[in-house]
Structure 1
């Protein structure tokens, strides 16, 4: 039976949107205020807040208040979990694709024995 990981699902769902990926990229250099973060995006404040909430629910972003300003910072642990999942599945798929390529080559040789290498 397949074991589902809801937290991983939320991470990939959040990363599926180019605006949210761009927000995370902006945070690579360190925490920024919501205002600084929103500035380059041509989105309504409520739309931008929605993107931040999705990233927060996925565990990719944390907001905290300092005085009158809200700061955002990226959280790398969920990204590391996603990378680990992708790496593990890449190995599985590479192995499967290699086996499929070998099988296809053997079929080709059986169908056309004169083309043997």
Structure 2
């Protein structure tokens, strides 16, 4: 479920550079390389002449595809009613204080000595726990 929420809210873009009908470069992170030619004005693909894989300067084009994620999953604290705000703050406060540790390890019976051992019952009856 967490992966579904993560991928539905994530946005990214893909940039592609075409020279004629051939894909020259694509990138997810950075700008694409423009195959050492600057496309001043893109011509329609029907007007591009490519004899023997020789590409003209005007036939290169850049395509950018942007995938936008959902933005409506964000709730602001102002949209909650006053009762909901009080409940949320008290829940967070009690949850945070739930895991606070003690300063010292308290042993309630440390001042008391064990009872005297009059006879060892296990040795007397020869019953040993293994």
Richer in helix (by share): 1
Richer in strand (by share): 2
Greater C-alpha Rg: 2
Q: TM-score, normalised by structure 1?
A: 0.26
Q: Name which structure has the greater RCO, CA cutoff 8 Å, separation 6+.
A: 1
